[in-house]
Amino acid sequence: MTAPEAPRPPFPPFDAESAAKKVRLAEDAWNGRDPERVALAYSPDSVWRNRAEFVSGREAIQQFLARKWAKELDYRLIKELWAFHGNRIAVRFAYEWHDDSGQWFRAYGNENWEFDAQGFMHTRIASINDLPIKESDRKYHWPLGRRPDDHPGLSDLSL
């Protein structure tokens, strides 16, 4: 018998503070670009829509993220809480990355998240658009990894 997984606080129902914390924890994890670690935040039967791709289950999520970060190089992400209610959170985000030819992009998007009682995300619906940018137009310059606490957020950057 497999031991039960440790819950993933904060838990629903969310208030403004716990929803914002959940968003920052997700941002921090994604900026770490570790597919195995990130996938653990999702329920074993989690279902995603990411652009036009549909993904189900942790193993598929982990494989998806490994492919993503192999293509999206020097990935840096900022997420911002948009709305919350009960066990749901809506997020807007922007991230910067470049491909293997050196072309930079800024991806803009929105995500709708739904959590189970243990704090695992079991539904993620993401709509994303990529905009090619010049390297000189980049706004995210922190070292790879967690965004520093004093780095401006999306609203501060007028994104």
User: Terminal CA-to-CA distance of the chain, rounded, Å?
Assistant: 48
The dotted CATH code for 16-137 is: 3.10.450.50
Once rounded to an integer, what is the mean pLDDT over residues 92-107? 98
Tell me the percentage of the chain whose pLDDT exceeds 70: 97
Q: Which two tokens stand for residue 49?
A: 């829509």
Integer Cα distance of 157 and 86 in angstroms: 29
Res. 1: pLDDT tops 90:
no
Q: Can you tell me the mean pLDDT for 59-78? A: 98
Query: What pLDDT does 144 receive?
Result: 97
Secondary structure percentages of the chain, helix, strand, coil, to 5: 25, 40, 35
**What is the mean predicted confidence (pLDDT) over 56-80?**
98
What is the β-pairing status of strands 53-56 and 121-133? unpaired
**5 has pLDDT over 90:** no
CB 94 within 8 A of CB 119: no
Q: Is the pLDDT of residue 26 over 90?
A: yes
Any idea where the domains of the chain sit in the sequence? 16-137
